[in-house]
Copies of this chain bind each other. A is one copy, B any other.
Amino acid sequence: MFERLQKARRDAKERNHLAGLIEACRELLTVRGDANSVAIASRALECYRKLASDAVREFFAVLANEFDPDPGEVLMLAEKYAVSRSPENLIALARAAEPPRQELLRRLNRAPLGTATIVAMRAQLLARLRTDKRLRAVDADFEHLLGSWFNPGFLRLERVDWASPASLLEKIIQHEAVHEIDGWNDLRRRLEPDRRCFAFFHPVLPDEPLIFVEVALLSEIPGAIAPLLDRNHAAERDRRKFKVAAFYSISNCQPGLRGVNLGNFLIKEVAEQLHAEFPSLKTFCTLSPVPSFAHWLARVPSISCAHLKPAKVAALDALLARLRARNGDDLAGLRPKLSALASLSGDEAQAGARELEAEIEALRRLCAFYLMHGSHEDPEASDPVARFHLNNGARLERVNAVADLSRKGLRQSFATMVNYLYDLDQVEANHERYIGGEVTAARAVGNLL
C-alpha cells in the first residue's frame, strides 16, 4: 500500500519533470526564448537530468514528432528557389529546411553544462535508436550539430603522461578498447619515455578525453604486440634510436560522439607533433588488429576473386582447404596450437613456430587476400580497422602472424596483426584509390598473393 503510494508520487514527480522539459523546449523556440534562453535552457536540462528511462523515451518521441520542418512550407520555398536562385529565395529555403530541432539544441547548449548534457543525451538516444528507427532523423540532427561543434579546429591535442591528473588517467584505463590496461602499473609502462599517449579535448569539456592514441617509439616496425606492452621491458631512453612511431591503440571515449570521426585527425596531428619533437622519426605506422579476419576466414565458402589471376585464386583456395583439413572447418583447432607458442621462449619458441610454419604462412597469405580483396565479394565482411586506416589514406604495409596471442587476438584473427603505414605525402592519393575500390599495399604484401 505504502509502496504503491510512493511509486505514485515518484511517477507524478517524473511526469512533472517530463512536462517541464517539453514545455521549456517549446518555449525556447518562441519569442520568450529569444529573450531569456539561458534561463529556460537551464530549466530544461535540469528536468532532463532527472528523467527516468521511460520518460527519456517519451521525450525523444516528442523530439521526433514536433520539431520537424513544415513540409508544405519547404515545398513552396523549394519551388520558388527552383524558379529563381536569388539569395533571398535560397536563404528562406535553407532556413525552412533545417529541422527546428537544431535550433532547439543550439539554444539548450547555452545553459551551464549544456554541451556535456547534449553529448550525454546523444548517447542515450543512440542506445534507443537500435530499437526505434523513427529516431533516425533526431539522431541525424545531433550528429550534424556535434560534428560542427567538435570540429577539429576547436579541439586541443594534449599529451597524457604520468604527470597528468589521476582522474584523467583513470579514464584512459577505463576507455582503452584495443589492448586492455590492467591497472596503474600497466598504464605506467605505456607512459614511459619511449611511449606516448595523446588525446583530443574540447575546451568546454576540459576533463573529458574525446579520443586518445597510444604510440611506441621504436627502432623498427613492430611485428607483435606483447613486447610493446611488457611491463618488465626497460624503457629505451636514447632518443636517437627512435626511428619508427607505431600507433598501437586508438580508443574513443565518448559514445555520444559516434559518427564524429576524429581518429583520422588525431593520427595525423600526432604524427606531425612527434616529427617536430623527434626529427629522427622516419616512419609512422600502426600495429593493428584485424578484428573480423577470423570470422571471415571461418565462413568464407571458398576463395574467389575477379581481380586476381585464376592461378593465384586457386593457390589461395587450396591453402584454405588444407588449413581446414588440418584444423576443422571452423578452424577451431588452430587456436590451441597458436596459443601454445605463448608459453615458449627462446629456442623452444622458434622450434614451435617452425612446426606451425605452414599454418603461419597460410594465415599471412589469406589475411593479405582478405584485406586486399575480401570485401569485393562481400562488403559486409570487410574489416572495420582496415576500413578506418585505408580510408584515412594509409597503406597496408605488412602482415604479421603470431602477433597477438591474447585470448582476444586468437579469437578475432588467429593472432594475426598488420601494420598500416602513414606516409603523409601519399595519403590523398591512397585514399582516392581506396574510394575507387583499390587497396594500396606494400609490394611485399602483394607478393603474398
Residue numbers in B under 8 Å from A34 (CB-CB):
391, 431, 435
Nearest chain B CB to A153 CB, angstrom units:
4
Q: Please pick, from B85, B111, B184, the residue contacting A68 in the complex, using a CB distance under 8 A.
A: B85
For residue A165, which residue of chain B has the nearest CB?
B163
Interface residue A192 (Cβ < 8 Å from any Cβ of B) = no
Known contacts: A38-B152, A163-B167. The answer to whether A74 contacts B68 by CB under 8 A is no
New A-B pairs, 17, CB < 8 Å, besides A35-B264, A74-B82? A31-B431, A32-B432, A35-B391, A35-B431, A38-B152, A69-B81, A87-B137, A93-B97, A94-B98, A109-B154, A110-B153, A115-B154, A149-B154, A153-B204, A154-B204, A162-B170, A164-B165
Residue numbers in B under 8 Å from A430 (CB-CB):
35
For residue A96, which residue of chain B has the nearest CB?
B97
Nearest chain B CB to A298 CB, angstrom units:
32
**Contacts A/B (CB < 8 Å), 10 sampled:** A35-B391, A35-B427, A75-B75, A75-B78, A78-B78, A87-B137, A87-B140, A97-B98, A110-B152, A149-B151
Known contacts: A87-B136, A110-B152. The answer to whether A97 contacts B94 by CB under 8 A is yes
As a 0/1 sequence over residues 139 to 153 of chain A, the CB contacts with chain B under 8 angstroms (1 = contact) are 011001101110111
A68, A141, A153, A162 — most chain B CB neighbours (10 Å): A153
The reply to whether B431 and A36 form a contact with Cβ atoms under 8 Å apart is yes
Q: Please pick, from B184, B204, B264, the residue contacting A184 in the complex, using a CB distance under 8 A.
A: B184
A75, A135, A145, A431 — most chain B CB neighbours (10 Å): A75
Nearest chain B CB to A97 CB, angstrom units:
3
The reply to whether B35 and A428 form a contact with Cβ atoms under 8 Å apart is yes
Q: Please pick, from B36, B94, B169, the residue contacting A99 in the complex, using a CB distance under 8 A.
A: B94
Residue numbers in B under 8 Å from A35 (CB-CB):
264, 391-393, 427-428, 430-432
The reply to whether A428 and B68 form a contact with Cβ atoms under 8 Å apart is no
Give complex CA distance A139, B106 in Å.
Answer: 20
For chain A residues 21-59, which have a beta carbon within 8 Å of chain B? Answer: 31-32, 34-36, 38-39
Q: Please pick, from B85, B87, B164, B265, the residue contacting A110 in the complex, using a CB distance under 8 A.
A: B265
Give complex CA distance A78, B38 in Å.
Answer: 34
Interface residue A380 (Cβ < 8 Å from any Cβ of B) = no
Interface residue A1 (Cβ < 8 Å from any Cβ of B) = no
A interface residue numbers (CB < 8 A to B):
31-32, 34-36, 38-39, 64, 68-69, 71-72, 74-75, 77-79, 81-82, 85, 87-88, 90-91, 93-94, 97-99, 106, 109-111, 114-115, 133-137, 140-141, 144-145, 147-149, 151-154, 162-167, 169-170, 183-184, 203-204, 207, 264-265, 268-269, 391-393, 424, 427-428, 430-432, 435
Top 10 nearest A-B pairs (CB, nearest first) are A35-B431, A203-B203, A97-B97, A87-B137, A78-B78, A87-B136, A109-B153, A114-B153, A71-B82, A163-B165
Give complex CA distance A424, B36 in Å.
Answer: 9
The reply to whether A31 and B165 form a contact with Cβ atoms under 8 Å apart is no
The reply to whether A162 and B167 form a contact with Cβ atoms under 8 Å apart is yes
Give complex CA distance A152, B38 in Å.
Answer: 9
For residue A116, which residue of chain B has the nearest CB?
B153
Residue numbers in B under 8 Å from A147 (CB-CB):
106
Q: Please pick, from B88, B90, B115, the residue contacting A69 in the complex, using a CB distance under 8 A.
A: B90
The reply to whether B87 and A134 form a contact with Cβ atoms under 8 Å apart is yes
Nearest chain B CB to A279 CB, angstrom units:
16
The reply to whether B391 and A140 form a contact with Cβ atoms under 8 Å apart is no
Give complex CA distance A264, B140 in Å.
Answer: 30
Residue numbers in B under 8 Å from A137 (CB-CB):
87, 90-91
Residue numbers in B under 8 Å from A77 (CB-CB):
78
Give complex CA distance A435, B137 in Å.
Answer: 32
The reply to whether B151 and A110 form a contact with Cβ atoms under 8 Å apart is yes
Give complex CA distance A167, B168 in Å.
Answer: 13
For residue A135, which residue of chain B has the nearest CB?
B87
Give complex CA distance A12, B128 in Å.
Answer: 58
The reply to whether B149 and A91 form a contact with Cβ atoms under 8 Å apart is no
Nearest chain B CB to A141 CB, angstrom units:
8
Give complex CA distance A165, B166 in Å.
Answer: 6
Residue numbers in B under 8 Å from A154 (CB-CB):
109, 115, 149, 154, 203-204
